[in-house]
Structure 1
Amino acid sequence: MPGHARGHLLGGWLSALAGLAGAGLPDLTGAILLIEAERTIGLGQVDRQLTQLIRSGALDGLWGIVLGRFPGFEDYTDRGWNLVDVLRDRLTPLGVPVLGGLEFGHGPDPHAVALGTMAELDTASGTLTLRPPAHDRYG
C-alpha cells in the first residue's frame, strides 16, 4: 500500500516476532515494523505467522511496514501463490504503507538496521530513512 509514515523502527525476523505475540512483543503502536524471513518450510509458514500477529492484535496501531530479504522464496510458488501474493493478502487489510525489497535480514552478506531509531518510510521514493542517522560511536 502506498504512503508515508514516521515512527520508531521495530521488528526483525518474522518467526521471532510471531513467537513473541502475546508473550513479550513490545507495543507496536505508532511504529514502523520491519519484517524479514528466510524460507524454511513454505508460504504457509509466512501466512500463519502473519495471521498470528494480526489476530493477536499485535499489529494494531502500526504506522507502516518495511520488508527486507526473504531468501529461498525468489521463485517459489505454492498452489499458484508466491510470496508477494501472501504478503499482499495479509498486509493490505492493515491499511498502512508497505515498502518492500530492502536489503536487510537473512541471506548472503547480511545487512543490519538500527532498531529503535526514528524512521521515515516513503513508498513514492522507495526509501526508509533513519532519523537521526545511526552513528558509529568510534568514528
Structure 2
Amino acid sequence: MVRAGVSEALRRALMTTAPVTIHRDISQASAAVTVEGTATGVVGGNLDAIRTEAGAGLPSLKGAILFLEHQRGTGLGEVDRALTQLTRTGAMEGLCGVALGQFLGFDQDVGDSTLGGWGIADVLRDRLTRLGVPVLGGLPAGHGLHPPTIPLGTQATMDTAEGTLMVQPAVV
C-alpha cells in the first residue's frame, strides 16, 4: 500500500536494504571543510543531540564516524560552543572520522564584519581539524528539503577523495 503523496520510487528507497551512499555537494556550506582520509565506523550524530548528552550519559564515540548537521538558531557562537563543549568533555576522543551535513541558515553570516570575517566553514574547520581524523564536508543531509535517511548506529565508510559517505542499512 502506498500512502498518498509518496511516489513509488520513494517508497522503494525507504524500504531498501541496500547501503545509502551520500555524495558531497560543493554548494553546501560545510563543503569547504575537508581533512583527507578514509574512515570506517559506526555512524551517529546531530550537533544539538550529541552536545546535550555530553557529560550526561553520552555513549562513547570511540571508533565512530560522527555525523554533524545543524540549523542556525542564534548564530556561529552556538556551533562553536557546542564543538568546544564536546572537545572539553572528551566526547570526541577516539572518533575515526567526522561527516558534515547541512548547516542551514548560516549563509547570512557571510561578510558580517562583526564576526571577524568568519563563517560556518571557518568555525567547523577550526574546531574539527584539530581532531586529527578525516573530515568530509558538504553532505546534503540534515534539515534541508528531501534529505536522505541516514540510519544511526550502523556501520559506515567515509572516503574524502571520493566525497562519499556510505551507510549500511539499519535493517537487513
- TM-superposed CA distance for 1:129, in Å, is 1.1
Secondary structure in 1 matching 2:139 = coil
- In structure 2, distance between residues paired with 1:98 and 1:29: 15
Alignment CA distance shift 1:135-1:63 (3 Å): closer
1:10 to 44, 47, 50: 44
Identity %: 54
More helix by share: 2
- TM-superposed CA distance for 1:94, in Å, is 0.3
**Higher RCO (C-alpha under 8 Å, 6+ residues apart):** 2
- TM-superposed CA distance for 1:10, in Å, is 1.1
- TM-superposed CA distance for 1:108, in Å, is 2.5
User: 2:151·2:170 contact (CA, 8 Å) conserved in 1?
Assistant: no
State which structure, 1 or 2, has the greater radius of gyration over its C-alpha atoms: 2
- The 5 A counterparts of 1:1-139 are 1-12=35-46, 14-77=47-110, 78-130=115-167, 133-134=168-169
Residue identity in the other structure for 1:33: L
Alignment CA distance shift 1:136-1:116 (3 Å): closer
- Give unpaired runs (5+ residues) of structure 2: 1-34
- In structure 2, distance between residues paired with 1:80 and 1:135: 41
Residues paired across the two proteins, number = 134
- In structure 1, distance between residues paired with 2:171 and 2:82: 34
- TM-superposed CA distance for 1:134, in Å, is 1.6
- Give unpaired runs (5+ residues) of structure 1: none
Residue identity in the other structure for 1:98: V
- TM-score, length basis structure 1: 0.90
Q: CA RMSD in A?
A: 1.5
- TM-superposed CA distance for 1:89, in Å, is 0.4
